[in-house]
Amino acid sequence: MKNNSIRELNIDSIRADTPGCGSILHFNNAGAGLIARPVLNAVIEHIKLESQIGGYEAADAAEMAFENTYQQLAQFLNCSVKELALMENATVAWQAAFYSLASRFQSGDRIITSEVEYASNYIAYLQKAKCSGIKIDVVPSSETGEVDIVALENMIDKDVKLIAITHIPTNGGLVNPVADIGRVANAASIPFLLDACQSAGQVPLDVEVIGCDMLSAAGRKYLRGPRGTGFLYVRQEILESLEPYMLDLHGASWTEYNKYTLRTDTRRFENWEFNIAGQIGLGVAVDYANTLGQQAIYERISKLANSLREHLKTLPSIIVHDIGREKAGIVSFSTPVIDPVSLKMELRKMGINCSTSGVSSTRLDMVRRGLEVLNRASVHYYNTDEEVRRFSEALTTLVR
Ligand SMILES: *Cc1c(COP(=O)(O)O)cnc(C)c1O
């Protein structure tokens, strides 16, 4: 277990460390979090080094900084360095795990997923259903919106070959009960793939507590890393039986004329070429999160988000759409007064960033709730009560 002792976050110094905080009100952290100065500096320093001494030579010189990213992630997830791969985004990380597993699925095999599954994942299930005749089964949600654990237990049989769940959906603050899902998966010895793209850096993650076998996430969202970074965790026990669905000379070595040998760690899913500056920056971003403490981060985010929800609920023409018993930092809402995209653009003119989330990103969930497009305001720990108030005031003037 990690040490989750709660530290008091020094918001003033965190904001001073975040160049963007001085100029914009950023409530689009579910899109991309604002980069902290140490991350910015690390990325720029490495690019400079590449320009001065050459890209390969700079990589040699920065080997320690690059390896630091694995070490920080291992601490962050409570796993071993050998269980991690650095990828270019969350989708590629997720696909590496999914398609490698799915290459052995046969007609009639079942995948269990949730109603809030992210579109890219669901499209991959559909593709496998089309090509291999697998069955996609969606666990119903409880009244409050989470995966219904009893329903999940009742769906388990020998044909279930994968449980793949989104921790926090892209379109709201719902937090799925992942440790309970992990218990069901482990009891039945079914691989459990967790999409932690929105939860990494927002909700405490510990792969031992969750019991997931594979986990994918992005660097740019709540971890505040550079764009074009992501990572994959694969548990050692499952790794040994998992052949990557695509391989290069980094994931495997060409050891004889007609033979290759796989790497023994999760880096078998990586490619040879890296955005080294970006991945070094990701390591600094994860270090930043480790230093602040995941529990402190989570408490600050959920407090601000709940405060934002309360403010929005007092506005007459705003409807808050979040579901879930426990809610994290993504606040979804709509108004009959302005369409979501125009509202987003009006706010941007006022120096306020937020985004929208449409039916095609989380179709099952949006259709069942009769929703087409939502506005999405996603707060981070560096946001403030004052920004929550300013956001609500800006909305008040726009929906009047
Ligand atoms: C953003 C998101 C993804 C995709 O992440 P990329 O880094 O853009 O590939 C996957 N799942 C969820 C839930 C997301 O919100």
d(CA 221, ligand 1 centre) in Å:
9
Interval between CA 239 and ligand 1 midpoint (Å)? 23
Compute φ and ψ for 333, nearest 5 degrees.
Answer: -155, 170
pLDDT at position 334 is 97
> Of 291, 323, 354, which residue sits at a domain end?
291
Here the CATH number for the domain that contains residue 121 is 3.40.640.10
Q: Which residue has the higher pLDDT, 2 or 73?
A: 73
Q: Taking a C-beta distance cutoff of 8 angstroms, is the pair 126, 118 a contact?
A: no
Q: Is residue 194 part of a domain?
A: yes
| Span from the CA of 194 to the centroid of ligand 1 (angstroms) | 12
Domain co-membership, 274 together with 341: no
For 93-111, what is each residue's pLDDT tens digit? 999 999 999 999 999 999 9
Ligand 1 atom closest to Cα of 195?
11
Are 283 and 346 part of one and the same domain?
A: no
Atom in ligand 1 nearest the alpha carbon of residue 170: 15
Same domain, 231 and 354: no
Percent of the chain with pLDDT over 90: 98
Is the alpha carbon torsion for 336, 337, 339, 345 positive or negative? negative
Are residues 142 and 47 part of one domain?
yes
CA distances from 318 to 195, 315, 374, 385 (A): 30, 6, 11, 19
Asked whether residue 184 falls in the same domain as residue 90, the answer is yes
Is the residue at 351 inside a domain? yes
229 lines ligand 1 (CB under 6 A): no
Does residue 391 sit in the same domain as residue 345? yes
Q: For atom 12 of ligand 1, which residue has the closest CA?
A: 197
DSSP-derived letter for residue 36 is: P
Question: What percent of the residues of the chain are helix, what percent strand, and what percent coil, each to the nearest 5?
Answer: 45, 20, 40
The CA 66 to ligand 1 mean position distance, Å, reads 23
Please report whether residue 228 resides in a domain: yes
- The answer to whether position 279 is within a domain reads yes
Identify whether 17 is part of a domain: yes
Same-domain check for residues 257 and 359: no
Q: Of all protein residues, whose CA lies closest to atom 5 belonging to ligand 1?
A: 90
In this structure, the answer to whether residues 360 and 286 fall within a common structural domain is: no
Which residue, judged by its Cα, is nearest atom 15 of ligand 1? 170
The answer to whether the beta carbons of residues 171 and 119 sit under 8 Å apart is no
Confidence of residue 2 (pLDDT cuts 50, 70, 90): very low
Edge to edge, the sheet with strand 373-378 lists 319-320, 330-334, 373-378, 355-358
Q: Which of 275, 291, 307 is the last residue of a domain?
A: 291
Mutate to test the pocket of ligand 1, among 86, 87, 197, 221 (most ligand atoms within 8 A of CB): 197
Q: Regarding beta strands 135-139 and 259-262, do their DSSP bridges make them parallel or antiparallel, or are they unpaired?
A: unpaired
pLDDT beyond 50 at 1: no
Query: How distant, in Å, are the alpha carbons of 166, 286, 296, 344, 374 from that of 11?
Result: 30, 18, 12, 26, 29
Global confidence as pTM = 0.97
Cα of 310 to ligand 1 centre, how many Å?
27
Separation of CA 170 and ligand 1 centre (Å):
7
List the domain range (segments joined by +) for residue 342. Answer: 11-34+294-399
pLDDT above 70 as % of the chain: 98
Q: Domain count of the chain?
A: 2
Tell me 242's DSSP state.
-
Ligand 1, atom nearest to 167 Cα: 13
Half-sphere exposure of 370 (CA within 13 A, CB side): 0
Q: What's the confidence (pLDDT) of residue 5? A: 52
Considering the domain architecture, whether residues 159 and 103 belong to the same structural domain is answered as yes
Q: Is residue 5 part of a domain?
A: no
pLDDT in tens, 167-212: 999 999 999 999 999 999 999 999 999 999 999 999 999 999 999 9
Q: Are residues 391 and 367 in the same domain?
A: yes
When pLDDT is cut at 50, 70 and 90, the band that residue 317 belongs to is very high
- Indicate which CATH number applies to the domain containing 326: 3.90.1150.10
CA of 361 relative to ligand 1 center, distance in Å: 10
169 and 47 housed in the same domain: yes
Is 198's C-beta closer than 6 angstroms to any atom of ligand 1? yes
CB burial class (10 A; 0-12, 13-18, 19+) of residue 257? exposed
Which of 232, 261, 291 finishes a domain?
291
Ligand 1 atom 2: the closest Cα is on which residue? 197
- Confirm whether 142 is domain-assigned: yes
Q: Is 265 in the pocket of ligand 1 (CB under 6 A)?
A: no
Q: How confident is the model at residue 6 (pLDDT cuts 50, 70, 90)?
A: low
For residue 1, is it within any domain?
Answer: no
Asked if 45 and 29 sit in the same domain, the reply is: no
Which of 113, 116, 115, 136 minimizes the C-alpha distance to 126? Answer: 136
Verify whether ligand 1 is closer than 6 Å to residue 170 (CB atom). yes
